[in-house]
Amino acid sequence: SQKIEQNSEALNIQEGKTATLTCNYTNYSPAYLQWYRQDPGRGPVFLLLIRENEKEKRKERLKVTFDTTLKQSLFHITASQPADSATYLCALEHGGYQKVTFGTGTKLQVIP
């Protein structure tokens, strides 16, 4: 069956450290993968998109890697800040026609 799994439901890290979140998938062949941030009671907000032929993408303190052999994406936040505390979702496009499926999310807490 198809699955998108994010490494842990919750992750606590110290301010200033690098947070690393994992997204693993099975039985998908996505053309690309996306990461979103969701704050409580709000809709998700797009952060980064990485295509299957790209290994790495960066945006300010964010970095995403995509390994289609391992079927895994890693999402890094460097120099983390308490304001980075939120739930982070990975999402895959698959099956054409704009079908985007989301993982369960990882709730990140950055401790001052």
**Complex with other proteins: residue 19 or 92, whichever CB lies closer:** 92
Choose, by CB under 8 A, the member of 2, 17, 29, 46 that binds other proteins. Answer: 46
* 54 close to 14: Cβ distance less than 8 angstroms: no
Q: Which of residues 72-111 bind other proteins (CB under 8 A)?
A: 89, 91, 93, 95-105
* DSSP for 81-104, written as a single string: -GGG-EEEEEEEE-SSTT-EEE--
Tally of CB atoms within 10 A around 65: 18
Residues that bind other proteins (CB under 8 A): 4, 31-32, 34, 36, 41-46, 49, 89, 91, 93, 95-105
